[in-house]
Amino acid sequence: MTDGSRVVITGVGIASPNGNNLTEFRKNLLSGKSGVEFIETHYMDPVPAGVCHFDGLKYQTRKSVRRGTRAGNIAIYCSQEAIVDSGIDLSKEDASKIGVFLGITEHGNVETENEIYNIKEFNYDTRVWSHHHNPRTVANNPAGEVTLNMGITGPHYTLGAACAAGNIGIIQGMQMLRLGEVDIALAGGVSESIHTFGTFASFKNEGALAYHPDPAKACRPFDNARNGVVVAEGGGVYILEKLSRALNREATIYGEIIGHAINSDAKDFIMPYAKRQTECMRMALSRAGIKPEDIDIISTHATSTPLGDIEECIAIRNVFGESPNTFINNTKSFIGHAMGAAGILELSGNLPSFQDNIVHPTINIDDFDPKCKLNNLIIGVPKEVEKVNYILNNSFGMLGINSVVIVKKFEK
């Protein structure tokens, strides 16, 4: 590709259960610090969840936070932090050439559930229903809140892609840059899922809600005792630019997006499908023009469900076999499953590996499930490796949507 079509990451803004910037997040991944804790939710006993503790008023007034949504609050924080990290001065940019593309798992559930929960206390009198309900629940809300907050007048929308959404936000931002629709893309994903009791209740009734007396150990991908998903909130936004623009302004470049793929299982509402995951990874590798053995780190999607983890491991073995220099890790074991934000947070935790050549571990594996056998899965402690030039990031979602993003270390 020419410099005019190459897309790079020049800013990172995150809110995660164990870190509110990339430095803090990475430090906690390397030190084994979990961000999962017990929370109260309507109608249920306390549940383990990944909870963010960022400063929600750093870029918003109390009034705007009350009027908006938790997902919007997360998205604004991450977007503003990403712009600061990128060194871009928005006042000097054409606001109509900036776009916001955010992946989401669902949106509007929190507000609808809470309004219904509250209205019953008033004999279901609709006069107590919030007049902010409609703008809070429209599907474009999180991205739209970012544009209102930051004065961005270019295109904005959310991409409903279940738990593949974080990757797909990145892919959409990249594509809009290549089309020339925008000069700067704010791309990624957000989730407010821990604030909806319906999500917890549904997972519990499926037999897929994680539990452990110590919440920090509740998310345990690949472990024989894994028993389900730890729901998490969070967000991640990247500043994406064409390489030529980034070089012209001497930007810090975290990595170059060189491969991507999206496909559909067309098989089941919930159950993942190794065959289609295999095809998705191979498609991304083909577009990147590299071989499986070129990948240095695979960031797994594994959600700590008994069958889901096995399917992904089958797919990884199908593609990578016993590749001796491909190392594998999982970020959910630290923060839970951040749904629409999962993909971008998991990729973000690995981006610093381009500079320090360290692969962060997977935690909470005490009894490794032999059905999840993976060559070079990093368990318990970080591993320093000879080089990290390519990272492959898996994100898969309900209704059979799969996404893969491959990022390359940038060197002039």
Does some domain include residue 2? no
**Same domain membership, residue 353 and residue 205:** no
**Same domain membership, residue 277 and residue 177:** no
Please give the tally of structural domains in the chain.
Answer: 2
CA distance 51 to 154: 31
**Same domain membership, residue 317 and residue 235:** no
CA distance 207 to 378: 28
Q: Where does 22-140 show beta strands of DSSP type E?
A: 36-41, 44-50, 98-104
Contacts 24+ apart (CB under 8 A), 54-62: 54/15, 54/20, 55/20, 59/149, 60/149
**Same domain membership, residue 278 and residue 169:** no
Q: Look at residue 3 in the predicted model and tell me its pLDDT.
A: 64
Per-residue pLDDT of the chain in tens (412 residues, 90 and over written 9): 666 789 999 999 999 999 999 999 999 999 999 999 999 999 999 999 999 999 999 999 999 999 999 999 999 999 999 999 999 999 999 999 999 999 999 888 898 998 999 999 999 999 999 999 999 999 999 999 999 999 999 999 999 999 999 999 999 999 999 999 999 999 999 999 999 999 999 999 999 999 999 999 999 999 999 999 999 999 999 999 999 999 999 999 999 999 999 999 999 999 999 999 999 999 999 999 999 999 999 999 999 999 999 999 999 999 999 899 999 999 999 999 999 999 999 999 999 999 999 999 999 999 999 999 999 999 999 999 999 999 999 999 999 999 999 999 998 7
**Same domain membership, residue 244 and residue 274:** no
Which CATH number covers residue 91? 3.40.47.10
Does some domain include residue 1? no
Do the strands 44-50 and 36-41 form a parallel or antiparallel pair, or are they unpaired? antiparallel
Cα separation values, 367 from 181, 335, 378, 381, Å? 50, 20, 14, 16
**Same domain membership, residue 268 and residue 237:** no
* pTM summary value: 0.96
Does some domain include residue 88? yes
Q: Look at residue 1 in the predicted model and tell me its pLDDT.
A: 62
Q: Look at residue 81 in the predicted model and tell me its pLDDT.
A: 98
Does some domain include residue 255? no
Last residue within a domain, chosen from 226, 248, 270? 248
Q: Look at residue 2 in the predicted model and tell me its pLDDT.
A: 63
Q: Look at residue 322 in the predicted model and tell me its pLDDT.
A: 85
**Same domain membership, residue 172 and residue 46:** yes
Q: Where does 247-293 show beta strands of DSSP type E?
A: 255-264
Does some domain include residue 156? yes
Q: Look at residue 88 in the predicted model and tell me its pLDDT.
A: 98
**Same domain membership, residue 275 and residue 213:** no
Which residue range is the domain that position 358 belongs to? 260-408
Residue with tokens 């997006």: 257
